[in-house]
Structure 1
């Protein structure tokens, strides 16, 4: 495997890579950066559009990575520790990064595919919550995750780390929910939102038919505009004294309940 080497943090390419740590840079370049052996391996295995793998010359390229890429499809660049540190937001860089082109998946492709069980997020703000929800969706075999406007950037390094590679296992689509949800309903999808004021328990609600589970912002819940589009509002019954569940926990409970019903 041949590779090029970059040692200086002043190199123009290094400055471009570092810009991917900010949303503005990611939007401008249409790319994002991932870090660590596990994530880079998942991206390569999934056939994501990995353009460049950047590795520490000091540590060397982790075993097995080169064999996962098609010959000539990926550029390999060995760099100094200083370059690695400039291109990461973690305190101790793991020694391997990758530059990946953002996938272009839109509403039409989503609606044309299988939409049996989908999670829809309306303004979820915390990167850790988004990552956990994606992992839970992956765990139950959900068909997609939809990110409505106001939801945290999927390609934020903190979000990417918290998905633990699950972001490469199912489609994740950014969409205007006001446009998407009515189109989904026309295709026979049932739109289910969570609400602390709901009368229906999620355990008494039929989640076996094509269902999109809609979850809202950590503090405000689902927005009134999106709630107005839903077919049914459900509550997760709680026997204890907690007022509510964290949004990622609520999504996980609903996903596994939908999965349980489908396996009966």
Structure 2
């Protein structure tokens, strides 16, 4: 295979490729190009090991020693374009104040809602209804990955999956399970018609999460941090469950609540 590692160093922030990469820091640019950026050694390694379709790996020429041995060689062997840049260019194209020595550009994930409706095993899908905080969304995706969920569905009004903060918060889990976008008002009824329990948490829930049967196919709906599940979506759920609490806290953070329920689902399915 032809070696695709460039020896010249891109040092100008006015370079056309640099301008295109910089646009990926904004949702408008990501939507226009159909691509997004992952920053840092861990995410790049996770993407490579998961077989993600990386287009380009960009690294700081003067910090090459910070990269794990063999990373660039592996990328070149896979036909990935490896580009050396100056530290100024790296800083221009990344979202963090102290960026690591590498980032990569890749196309948006290609999953669709149909794959969530036809899993290979008992469904455990996390449906997101309007989560706004990138860190919360990333944490929920990591928890879904950890328990072996069959997918994540991002409903309307949810923060962009490809927001750099969301991407970092997933810690690579976004490459481990199907994640797609869709209209919950259309997809939840289809799930229910297929015999899937559509569940959400509620302080008024009559069944606690430890008594609910998660061994059956389930779509678990998580609502907005402040407003919870929207009224239209709540009307489409088939079950409301609660998380029992012994202390004085009224409720849990959305990502924490999701994690509690998802790990209970995993516990039941492992027993």
| TM superposition score category, shorter chain reference | over 0.9
Structure 1: 4+ residue segments shifted above 2 A: 66-73, 112-115
Residue aligned with 2:55, SS: strand
1:227 counterpart = 2:234: yes
Which of residues 181, 201, 212 is equivalent to 2:208? 201
2-structure distance, mates of 1:231, 1:68 = 48
Aligned to 1:113: 119
Which of residues 27, 30, 41 is equivalent to 1:26? 30
Shift, 1:197, TM fit: 1.7
Over residues 181-217 of structure 1, what are the superposed CA-to-partner deviations in whole Å (9 max), with x where a residue is unaligned?
1111222211001111222111111111001111100
1:250 counterpart = 2:254: no
1:127 counterpart = 2:134: yes
Aligned to 2:55: 51
Q: TM-score, normalised by structure 2?
A: 0.94
Aligned to 1:188: 195
Q: TM-score, normalised by structure 1?
A: 0.96
Q: Residue 176 and residue 71 in structure 1: after superposition, are their counterparts in 2 closer, same or farther (change >3 A)? A: same
Residue aligned with 1:103, SS: coil
Instruction: Give the number of equivalent residue pairs.
Output: 264
Q: Which moved more, 1:32-41 or 1:197-206?
A: 197-206
1:1-264 alignment, distance < 5 Å: 1=3, 2-3=5-6, 4-60=8-64, 62=67, 63-69=69-75, 71=77, 73-114=79-120, 116-264=123-271
2-structure distance, mates of 1:59, 1:85 = 13
Name structure 1 gaps, 5 residues minimum: none
Name structure 2 gaps, 5 residues minimum: none
Residue aligned with 1:222, SS: coil
Over residues 144-173 of structure 1, what are the superposed CA-to-partner deviations in whole Å (9 max), with x where a residue is unaligned?
111111111111000111111111111111
